[in-house]
Amino acid sequence: MYRIGELAKLCEVKADTLRFYEKHGLLAPSSRSDSGYRLYNESDAERLRFILRAKAVGFTLAEITELLSIELDKSNWACADVKGLVDSKLAQVNEKISELNHFQVSLQRLSDACCGGPESAEHCSILEALESNTDNIKCENHAHHHDKSQYTKNCQSKG
Amino acid sequence: MYRIGELAKLCEVKADTLRFYEKHGLLAPSSRSDSGYRLYNESDAERLRFILRAKAVGFTLAEITELLSIELDKSNWACADVKGLVDSKLAQVNEKISELNHFQVSLQRLSDACCGGPESAEHCSILEALESNTDNIKCENHAHHHDKSQYTKNCQSKG
DNA sequence: ATAAACCTTGGAGTTTAATCTAAGGTCAAG
DNA sequence: CTTGACCTTAGATTAAACTCCAAGGTTTAT
Ligand SMILES: [Zn+2]
Ligand SMILES: [Zn+2]
Ligand SMILES: [Zn+2]
Ligand SMILES: [Zn+2]
């Protein structure tokens, strides 16, 4: 039997997190001591590890609640159900990745267009890009070139 | 001069969003009508577009607040400052992408290991993976093969 | 026996970006 | 002069997953 702090340390989470999981129905200690301390057994610890593994692949606690309800009643669920949860998560993750890739490309383009030097930002290509309606930064056209070598350094990749 | 609903429609945001931006110091209407209605001019609209462009490349409103304070006082800032904000955002985005890529790979592996059929989840490879301490799913070893052709279909890529 | 380290509870705070509600004032059309 | 669309305010709510707090009770070691 583990007390809350022991299980927390064992699984590298905080005691607060275990209380939070309990409050939200993910994991309750199987017993209490006479003085009211939570007592977790090995099976509780296994359940916690299940939760943490599911978190490690990106599931939210709400989704983990679903997974746990399947896990505890496997024979009444099909592989299709389980795979459905995984595939739906996968789709969400892919969507998010593609949004972030979009950000990544845009930010990289902004970064590449700016000399990053100590010169005044009055003609900074980044600010100019955010001011104008184009989301394209044309490195060869920009009005910003306080320093020839810097300019060349930053713009050579685009001609 | 635009009333709040007009500017909202023009820029495809909700009036609530504009009030929210005002409350948080991002964008205030340059005047009010006699009856207290917000009135935005062309320069307010430009500022809103700046905000929306910055959002479109992934900046949070707090970061946009910083960008705006630079934008309004360009000569007292250097390219280095602006590029610093972009690069720091870029680093955050890259970090998030790499976390999501990790999720993506794990989820794909889980999905690939499961037949996804109508059979009972009692021996589902996904659940087994979440129960065990390995984060590796060994397709050729798993205990789950209710249906030979399905099994082959899902596992052929790994031998 | 007393200090340190642990535990209990309920509830508030954090972050982000809105979104919604209630209760009421304004404006243009018919 | 009334209907409907629009506007005002302050404040509550949402999602996610904790994290922290106060005020007190328990255990353990010295
Ligand atoms: Zn520069
Ligand atoms: Zn610059
Ligand atoms: Zn199966
Ligand atoms: Zn399965």
pLDDT per residue as tens, chain A (159 positions) = 999 999 999 999 999 999 999 999 999 999 999 999 999 999 999 999 999 999 999 999 999 999 999 999 999 999 999 999 999 999 999 999 999 999 999 999 999 999 999 999 999 999 999 999 765 554 444 455 554 444 444 443 332
Would you tell me which residues 41-70 of chain B have a C-beta closer than 8 angstroms to some C-beta of chain A?
A: 46, 49-50, 53-54, 56-58, 67, 70
Q: Which nucleotide is nearest to B18 (CA to C1')?
A: C18
What 8-state DSSP symbol labels residue A156?
G
In chain A the domains, ranked by start, together with CATH numbers, are 4-59 (1.10.1660.10), 101-154 (no CATH)
CA A32 – C1' C5 distance (Å)?
Answer: 19
Ligand nearest to the Cα of B127, by number: 4
Name the H helices within A24-78: 42-56, 61-71
CA-CA-CA-CA torsion sign (B128, B142, B147, B106): positive
Asked if the C-beta of A158 comes within 8 angstroms of chain B's C-beta atoms, the answer is no
Check: CB of residue B93 under 8 Å from CB of residue A104: yes
Give the nucleotide nearest to A16 (CA→C1').
D19
pLDDT surpassing 50 at residue B6: yes
Find the distance separating the first CA and the last CA of chain B, reported in whole Å. Answer: 68
Report chain B residues whose CB lies below 8 A from the CB of A107.
57-58, 86, 89-90, 93
What three-state secondary structure class fits A39? strand
Find all residues with CB under 8 Å of A47, minimum gap 6, and list them: A27, A68
Instruction: Give the C-alpha separation, A107 to A126, whole Å.
Output: 9
H helices within B30-124, ranges in order?
Answer: 42-56, 61-71, 79-113
| CA of residue B88 to ligand 1 center, whole Å | 17
Query: What is the reported pTM?
Result: 0.87
